Every structure is written in C-alpha cells, then in structure tokens.
Amino acid sequence: MMTDVMEQSGSPIRPGQSAAQEAEAAEATTPAGVDAEPAEQQTGTAEPVAAARIVQIRERIDEIDHALITLWQERAALSQEVGATRMASGGTRLVLSREREILERFRVALGADGTQLALLLLRAGRGPL
C-alpha cells in the first residue's frame, strides 16, 4: 500500500509525479482569482535561473523516486517468491548467510545507511522476524 507524502506546502506528492505535473495539479486546485504559490516558495529562491534549474533537478529526482519504488516492489515480490518456493520444497524460512551477504553488500557500498536500507529491503521481502 502506498501513501501520499505531503510536501512542506501541504500538497500531496504522488510517486512518479513530475514537478510539472505537481504544478499542473496545484494550478487545477487553486481557486479562480487566487495567485498560485510564488516560485520562491516552490523552489526556495526568487532567482529565475536557479528556480528553473531546481525544477529540472526535482523532475529527475521524481523519476528516480518512481524507479526506486517500482524496483522495491519488484524486489519484495521476487524475494517472497523465493521464500515460498524454498519453504514449499521443505527448505528453511530464511537463509541467514544470504541475508548477511546482502547486508554486507549494502554496507560496503553505502555505509551505515546502506545497512539500514538493506534491513528494510529484507523485511519487505520476508516480513518481520
């Protein structure tokens, strides 16, 4: 189940929604005669070139977030399938050496945050211990 995340402005941000789509949605919900949020409030700067660049960067971030969410869901489903297949064939619920290998891979690549990310990924695929 996915939930909307609220930006500081209070507008929901949905996975895969680009900055341009966010702006369109904001315009569609802004009552007639009321100015939409100034660019400075949306980007944190009143300088037009910087504001435009921030919008571009945020669009790419939104694309990456969408890809991460999609990959997370695919990984969890595949991991659940591995577990179900292993248990249906009389195997164990978990293979701790495999989990340690994943934890180490993420720790080496991303440090302590990588370990935390790997723990979340593992839990998404197998459920809580």
pLDDT score for 31: 52
If you write DSSP's letter for every residue of 44-107 in order, what string do you get? S---HHHHHHHHHHHHHHHHHHHHHHHHHHHHHHHHHHHHHHHHHTT--S--HHHHHHHHHHHH
> CA 34, 40, 41 angle in degrees (round to 5)?
65
pLDDT score for 7: 45
pLDDT score for 41: 84
pLDDT score for 67: 98
> DSSP 3-state assignment of 8?
coil
pLDDT score for 52: 95
pLDDT score for 129: 76
Consecutive 10-residue runs of the chain (129 residues): their mean pLDDT? 44 50 50 60 93 96 98 97 96 95 98 98 90
Longest dimension (CA), the chain: 67
Q: Give residue 42's identity as a one-letter amino acid code.
A: Q
Query: Where are the domains positioned within the chain?
Result: 1-25+46-91, 94-129
pLDDT score for 8: 44
Token pair in block for residue 24: 């369109």
